Amino acid sequence: MTKHAIDGSASPTGHASRRRFLTGTLAGGLVAAGGSEAFAQGRKKKPIGPNPDNQPPNVPDWSKTLGDGVADHPYGKPSKYEAHVVRRDVEWLTASRQSSVNFTPLHELDGIITPNGLCFERHHGGTADINPFDHRLIVHGMVDKPLIFSMDDIKRFPRYNRVYFLECAANSGMEWRGAQLNGCQFTHGMVHNVMYTGVRLRDVLEEAGIKAGAKWLQVEGADSAGMNRSLPMQKALDDCLLAFKMNGEALRTEQGYPLRLVVPGWEGNLWVKWIRRIEVGDMPWQAREETSKYTDLMADGRSRRFTFAMDAKSVVTNPSPEAPLKVKGRNIITGLAWSGRGKVTRVDVTLDGGRNWQEARIDGPVFDRSLTRFYVDFDWQGQELLVQSRAHDETGYVQPSKVELRKVRGVNSIYHNNGIQTWLVRANGETENVEIS
């Protein structure tokens, strides 16, 4: 029996009868260090529980004493009662601490903004801790005049503010071969959604002058991996940003401080962090992360490559294995939908594994290529549920089932799994990652 922690701490232990554990590689060369069930990184703190002395008709402690003053926390942090709301990694997924990934606790969030402290991380050589005074962006190759920009130089181009989701191509990658990770933090938590402030990549390139025949860029980070990818010029000129702020403040170190590339709707690996170099050329560079990794191995042994755009996808975040139903009666089903090809136009939810679908209520801003929040207000009388959500986007695309997706793509890939997720809610409210055929 799968254990569910009511306090919200992660306990995504596998359910052997229902899951086959994937061995092999994940997300850019990460070797699975073992298929055991003991992979929850979660800091298992004892939750701080209720105390009737602080409930009515008693006057609670916090109403009787002066609390902290305004000078005590120049930069604030979450309440101690929210200590379980953290990014978590999965130890057996990672061969090294620095080439690894952690996951956003989607089941603990609401709305569409991901707080900066909870944006998932994916590093290929650890976090570069850059002094912005010394950071430089070099633009060279097929340009009229190669240029070196300081951060101050960059910030003097016209600025733009846009909310975009960033999803790792390997998000849900462990689920290609069957329901495996028991929590939406782990199945879908390699996505975040932030308001970026930055300048147009187009404006920076045009300052250097793009030569005729230029069709691709090499974009490269200043981390120890020198993470590099090839980016089509057309996309670069269309909507890419060089961002220096996220959600109003400077980028976080682990998100590319002081400068990252924003590639709206496209896989996260292209959003090069700590960007230090842009080389203009006429062909892709065939970098490691677009040949060995971030390609989609098909059933016949061939690979799909340069599969940049993230197709429409959604997930119910509550209920989910880390956020079971607690009481009968009025309840909220909520989740997130997104598409790398435009706005989400509709989300359907089923409670019975797809026999009946209802349209969810979308609430909050609906931006182009942004997370979109949906809700279903419903009355739960303790019946078993098979909960799924299905996103539609403005191109007319409808999120496929995993069965449909595997028919086309097979099960060899790690990337671009946007299949419909199923949660089984049991009569006691416990919720589990399952698949239905």
The interface with a copy of itself within residues 393-432 (CB under 8 A) comprises: none
Binding mask 355-394 for a copy of itself (x = CB under 8 A): ------x-xxx-x-----x-x-x-----------------
Nearer to a copy of itself by Cβ, of 327 and 408: the residue is 327
Residue 371 CA from chain centroid, whole number: 10
Rounded Cα–Cα distance for residues 397 and 392 (Å): 6
Before 115, cis peptide (omega within 30)? no
Rounded Cα–Cα distance for residues 348 and 400 (Å): 12
Residue 3 in tokens: 């254990």
Of 21-29, 157-165, 231-239, 392-400, the window that binds a copy of itself (rule: CB under 8 A) is 157-165
By C-alpha distance, which of 344, 334, 335, 336 is closest to 312? Answer: 344
Identify the helix (H) or strand (E) that includes residue 185: helix 184-188
Nearer to a copy of itself by Cβ, of 1 and 66: the residue is 66
146 is a contact residue toward a copy of itself (CB under 8 A): no
Nearer to a copy of itself by Cβ, of 20 and 45: the residue is 45
Rounded Cα–Cα distance for residues 387 and 314 (Å): 12
242 is a contact residue toward a copy of itself (CB under 8 A): no
Phi and psi torsions of 331, nearest 5°: -145, 165
What's the min distance (Å) between Cβ of 67 and a copy of itself? 3
What part of residues 5-34 is at the interface with a copy of itself (CB under 8 A)?
Answer: none
Nearer to a copy of itself by Cβ, of 260 and 409: the residue is 260
Taking CB under 8 A as the criterion, the residue among 249, 282, 384, 404 binding a copy of itself is 249
Of 165-173, 175-183, 252-260, 343-351, the window that binds a copy of itself (rule: CB under 8 A) is 252-260
What's the min distance (Å) between Cβ of 149 and a copy of itself? 11
By C-alpha distance, which of 363, 341, 366, 364 is closest to 418? Answer: 341
Taking CB under 8 A as the criterion, the residue among 1, 70, 212, 408 binding a copy of itself is 70
By C-alpha distance, which of 93, 99, 269, 96 is closest to 181? Answer: 93
From the number of C-beta atoms within 10 Å of its C-beta (0-12, 13-18, 19+), residue 178 rates as middle
Identify the helix (H) or strand (E) that includes residue 184: helix 184-188
Of 16-24, 244-252, 347-355, 399-407, the window that binds a copy of itself (rule: CB under 8 A) is 244-252
Residue 226 CA from chain centroid, whole number: 22
What's the min distance (Å) between Cβ of 289 and a copy of itself? 17
Helices within 200-336 (DSSP H only) = 201-208, 233-238, 288-291
Measured CA angle at 395 (ends 391, 398), to 5 deg:
30
| 8 A C-beta contact, residue 16 and residue 6 | no
Binding mask 299-318 for a copy of itself (x = CB under 8 A): --------------------
188 is a contact residue toward a copy of itself (CB under 8 A): no
Taking CB under 8 A as the criterion, the residue among 17, 131, 234, 437 binding a copy of itself is 131
Taking CB under 8 A as the criterion, the residue among 16, 38, 46, 69 binding a copy of itself is 69
Of 47-55, 229-237, 284-292, 428-436, the window that binds a copy of itself (rule: CB under 8 A) is 47-55
What's the min distance (Å) between Cβ of 255 and a copy of itself? 8
